[in-house]
Structure 1
Amino acid sequence: MHHFAYRDGSLHAEGVDLRRIAAEVGTPVYVYSTATIERHYKLFAAAMKKAAGKAHVFYAMKANGNLGVLKTLGALGAGIDTVSEGEVRKALAAGIPPEKIVFSGVGKSEQELRFAVETGIYQVNIESESELDLLSKVASSLGKRQEAVFRVNPDIGAGGHAKITTGSSENKFGVSFEEVGRLYSRAANMPGVRIMGLAVHIGSQIREIDAFEAAYSKMVALVGDLKGEGHRVDRLDLGGGLGIPYDIPKTFDYGPGLIEAYAEMVGRVTKGLDVELGFEPGRLIVGNAGLLLTRVLHLNPRPTKQFLVVDAAMNDLVRPAMYEAYHEIWPVAEPAIGSPEIAYDVVGPICESGDTFTTGRALPQLKQNDLVAFMTAGAYGASMSSTYNQRLLVAEVMVKGDDYAVTRPRQSYEELIGTDRLPGWFA
C-alpha cells in the first residue's frame, strides 16, 4: 500500500498535509513517504529470502537517487545497484558499504572501473568482451582481482514500453547467449578478474511472470552447463523489472500477490541450484512511494477542449512525454461526492506541445491555484528531471510520520546560471 490518503478534506502524505508542504516549500515538489518505501522493501526482501535463502537485494538507484531514500533503504540492509561512478559515489555518501554495491551498465569507462575497483565494490556486471579486457587491465594495474559476473542477453525481452525492454537480442545490453561460454573460459584465466557468475535483466515494468520464468530457466540451464564444464558459478543476479500499478484507486492496497507469485516462481526455477541470488528492484520499491505536487496556474478553455496549465512541466516529470506514461491525478482538496467532472488536457508551461501530461482526463472541476498531485511518481521522476527551458531543478521532500524534511532544495537562479562559464574572449 501507499501512505497517501485524504484526511479532514485534504490529501496527506502519512501525517503531513500536502497543503503545508506546498505553502512552506513551494511547487512543484516531489513528496516521498518513508513508510511506503520501508513497507515495499521489507515485503520484497522477505519474499526473496523465503524463496531463495541465499538472496541479496540491491536497490536500483537509477529509479530514485535521493540521499534520504538511499539512507532509508541502507538502514534496512539493502545493497545498491549502480550504473555510473556518480551513483557509486552517491551510494557511498549515503553510508552504503562498498561490499553492498553492484556496478551495472553497458558503457563503463576506464575511470569509472578504476574508481569501482579502488573502492572495493561487491560486483561488476560485465556487458561486453572489451569491458572484460578493460576491467582486467585496470584491476591488474592496481594489484587487485575484481569480482564480477557476466550480464547475459537471453533474447527474451519484456517491459511496459519498447524503451524499457532490455533482454531482446535487438537491445544493447549484455553479452550474447552464444558467446558467454567462451568468455567465461577466458575470464577464468585473467589476472584482474575473479568471475563469480551470471546476471540477467530483461526489462522494466513487467507485470506478467511468464517472461521472467522463461529468461530465468535459460539462465539456470546455462549455470548448469558452465558448472558441467568445471567452472565456478557462485552467483546468479536476476535483475529487477517487476512492475507496479499506475492506475491506482484511492483505496489502493499494494498487496503481496504479484511479489509472492514472483517469489514462488524464483524458488521453483532455481531449486537445487546452490548459488547466491541477487535482485535489483527499483520502481517496485519507490514508484508508489512518491508523488509530484503541483499547482494550477491557468485554465484555458477552447471550443473543443479545456486546457489545465500546472506549474510542473516535462522537465520535472518526463515520463508522459517520453513513454506515454499514465499517472493518476488527484486534487489535494478532497472532492465532494457527486462533484461535477470536466475533461481536461493537463499541460505544463514548457514551449513544446509534448509538454502534456494527459489529454481528455475526467477530473473534478478545478480552479486557478488549486493543488493537484501526480501519483506514483517516486520512480524515474526526479531522477530524470532537468533544467530544460532554464527551469529550476525541482525540490524533493521526505515525510516520516507527522514530520517532513527537504532532501533536495529547489535550485536557485544563481545556482542555475552559475553552472555556465563565459568564454575568455568576453572578458
Structure 2
Amino acid sequence: MIRGHPIQGRMDGQVLKLWKLLAISGLLLLQTGCWDSVELNRRAIVSGVSIDKGLTEDKRYSVSFQVIVADEITGKNSRGNAPVALYKGSGRSIYEAFGNASRQSARILSLGHSKVIIISEDLAREGIRDLMDIFERESDMRLSTLVFVSRGQRAEDILSVMTIFGKIPANDLVQKLETGNRSFGYNFRIEVDDVIRGILAKEGGAIINGVIVKGDLEAGGTKSNLEGIKPKAILKNAGLAVFKQDKLMAFQDGTEGMGLSLIHNKQKEYPLLLELGKNESATFSMFKVHTSVTANAKDPEHPVIYISTQQQAALKEYNGSLDISKSSVLRNWEKLLSEETKKEIDAAVKAAMRLNSDYIRFNETVNRVNPKGWKRVKGRWDTIFTQCEVHIKVNTLIRHTEMRTRSLKSSGEGVE
C-alpha cells in the first residue's frame, strides 16, 4: 500500500480551507449593501431650510427648502434659469410639513448638505425646543448646520433672495457670517449643536444669529437683482438673538452685541473709534483679542465673576494734531481703548441680567470651579445670577501705527 507524503497532504488541506474561506467571503459580499440607499441622480440637494408659523392649527408650521438645480450650477446643461428652487409645505408638525414639501419635488429631498436653518422671529418667540428636536433626531441633518433667526421677516424670504457672490444664496449667507466675524462684525458661527446645548441649560438660554433682507423683497427673488450695479435686495447679518432657554427674548445690537461676542471669546478682529475732542478722532483695528471668564465661588450664594480681555490694536485712521511718535500719547490711547471695550462687555452683562437669562454662561463658570456648591444653588440661579458681582479688566497694547507717525492735519503736508 502506497501512502502519500504527509507534508503534501497538509498543504492540500490548507488550500481547501483557503478556497472555502474565499467562497464564504464572496457570498457575504453579495449580501452587503445599504437597504435605504438612493441613487444620486434621484436626490435633490437641499442647501437651506426655513421654518415659519402656519396660518391655521392644521398648518401650524410652514417649511421651505432651498434646492440646488444641479444643471444650472455645473453649466453643462444650463438653460439660464435660477440656480436654486424653493419648495414649500405646511403641516401640524415639522416632519409632516417636510413630507408635504417633498411631494412637490420630482426627486427625494436630501438634507445632508444643508448649510443653514432659518427660523422666523415670531416662531422663535413662542419657543424652538420642538424645532431643534427634529434637527437633532434626523439622521440626514448635520449638527454643524448654521442656525439663524429672520428678524421681523418671514424666514422663507431669506431663502428667496438671489445673491451676487455665489450662485447658492445659503452659501452666501455662510460666507458673510465668516467674513464679518474675521474682520468687522460681532456675529459668530452658531450651529445646531450650540443651540441645543443652550436650550438644555435650564439656567441659561440659546444665542442665534439674526438675519434680514435689506431692500426690495419681491425684486430680491428675481434675476434682476443680479443685473444692476446696486442689488435691489441683499442678505445682512442683524444682531444676536438671545433666548431664555428656548424662547427668544431680544436682539443684541451694537455695543451689547459686541460685548456678548467678546464674553464668549468669539471676536477675532473689530474696529474701535475714539472720540478725542472737537473734530478729532482715531480709529483702530483691534486684533488678537482673547477673553477669559473665571469665578470665585467659595460662597456659591454670592459668586464673584472675573472677565479679563487681552487685545492688541493698530491705528488705521487718525484725524488729529497729536504727535503719535510719543509713547505718552499711545499709553493714553491704550487706556481709552480699554475703557471702551470694558463698556461694551459691561453693557452685555447688564442686558443679560435685565432679561434674567444667563446666556452669557456664568453658570458654567461657577459649576466648573465649585461643582458641589453649584448643586446647592442651581435651582435658584435665576435669582442669584442677577445679583452676581462682576469685575471686568481689559488690557490693550497698541502694536503699531502703520506707515505714519503724524496725521496730514498735524504735518501740514500738501498745504501751501
TM-score (norm 1): 0.20
Q: Whose Rg is larger?
A: 2
Please state which structure has a larger fraction of its residues in helix. Answer: 2
TM-score (norm 2): 0.21
Greater RCO (Cα-Cα under 8 Å, separation 6 or more): 1
